[in-house]
Amino acid sequence: MNVHEKFALRSAAIDGMTLVEATSNRSFSRHIHDQFGVGLLIHGAQVSFSGRGEVQAHEGDVITVNPGEVHDGRPIGGDVRCWQMLYLDPGKVESIALALDLPRGVELHHPVLIDQDVTRSFVKLLSQLRESQPTRDYLALESALLSAFAPLLGVPDPKTTCIPAGVRTVRAMIEEAPEMPLSLDEMSRLAGLGRYQFLRIFKRATGLPPCSYRLQLQLQMARRLILAGTPLAEAAAHAGFADQAHMTRHFARSYGVRPGSLAANLKRKNGSSIIQSCLPDGTVSCTPQALRCLTEQATLT
């Protein structure tokens, strides 16, 4: 299957937020983010793994992901799907929760939400985020932000899985320094478990084997370094990759965007740019017109 995709990264009007517009038929392997993500499927459909099991999303559905939540994404039937995703730093979500009189430590409860009112609120927020700087009403934007997130946030369910202290220790070591490799023998010895037992319990606790969990944290570190302006080769070395090519291969596989494209986007000054494009003519695209069409549909229903 040929991969057709187009990604655009937009700077949001509010600090701690980034808007990504994507059109792709790519299947993304299991990965994690260090941000909250809320999006809207504008065209097509996909099936994905989430913290609440496997879910399907179709046109008009709101999709979400929490920091550290293992997830993937596969187009249904291999067709191109189009979505817009708003990524928020944990601190920004905490401030939204505070404004909504919610306690600390909230999470996004539903990996897929099929609700016309929720879709309508999120479409309104996306439309306002797309407005040009001179016409943007910041009070209306903050109001739209709170209205969109009010039905999405809630207190996490109590965790029922008991994770042995030794496994928690190893996980914390990986999170503290993902650039430092640990062998399976070292990790199982630190956890006080046999190798197979350690692998089984670690995957049950995190959703990923330890090598994959570390790789996702390395990618997050590399992304933060690149966004801070670190040269790609240095970012790869600091994050513990063998070289830049090693980082690039896994970065593109998890995020659908090459790190060089992300770095190039930072140098643009217009606040919006296409950072990867290989769509053939005639393929659907995540355009303002498509969003307007979905807005009208939500208003009429």
What's 290's domain CATH number?
2.60.120.10
Same domain as 138, residue 284: yes
**Residue among 161, 205, 32 at smallest CA distance from 197:** 205
Same domain as 152, residue 16: yes
Distance from C-alpha of 226 to C-alpha of 214, rounded to nearest angstrom:
18
Tokens describing residue 31:
């990965």
- For residue 278, is pLDDT > 50? no
Same domain as 181, residue 147: no
The model's pTM: 0.77
**218 and 240 Cβ atoms separated by less than 8 Å:** yes
Residue 118 confidence class, pLDDT cut points 50, 70, 90: very high
The mean pLDDT value of the chain amounts to 84
Same domain as 85, residue 211: no
Sign of CA dihedral 275, 277, 282, 286: negative
Angle of helix 195-206 relative to helix 165-176, nearest 10 degrees, comes to: 70
Same domain as 188, residue 224: yes
**Residue among 150, 27, 163, 42 at smallest CA distance from 96:** 150
- For residue 24, is pLDDT > 70? yes
Question: Could you give the number of structural domains in the chain?
Answer: 2
Same domain as 261, residue 176: yes
For position 300, what pLDDT does the model report?
43
pLDDT tens-digit profile of 186-229?
A: 999 999 999 999 999 999 888 899 999 999 999 999 999 998 89
pLDDT tens-digit profile of 153-188?
A: 998 876 645 788 999 999 999 999 999 999 999 999
Please, how many CA atoms are within 13 Å of residue 9, restricted to the half-sphere of its CB?
20
DSSP-H helix ranges across 69-176: 90-99, 116-129, 138-149, 165-176
**Residue among 246, 249, 161, 173 at smallest CA distance from 206:** 161
On the 0-12 / 13-18 / 19+ scale of CB atoms within 10 A, 7 is buried
Same domain as 211, residue 130: no
For position 212, what pLDDT does the model report?
93
- For residue 249, is pLDDT > 60? yes
For position 281, what pLDDT does the model report?
38
For position 248, what pLDDT does the model report?
94
CB atoms within 10 A of CB 90: 16
- For residue 60, is pLDDT > 60? yes
Instruction: List the domain range (segments joined by +) for residue 37.
Output: 5-158+271-300
Same domain as 48, residue 14: yes
Same domain as 153, residue 11: yes
Same domain as 210, residue 286: no
**194 and 184 Cβ atoms separated by less than 8 Å:** no
Run of H or E including 263:
helix 259-266
Same domain as 112, residue 53: yes
CATH of the domain at 248: 1.10.10.60
Distance from C-alpha of 209 to C-alpha of 215, rounded to nearest angstrom:
10
Distance from C-alpha of 121 to C-alpha of 111, rounded to nearest angstrom:
17
The DSSP bridge partners found for residue 245 are: none
pLDDT tens-digit profile of 26-57?
A: 888 889 999 999 999 999 999 999 888 899 99
Same domain as 238, residue 199: yes
Tokens describing residue 144:
């739209």
- For residue 138, is pLDDT > 70? yes
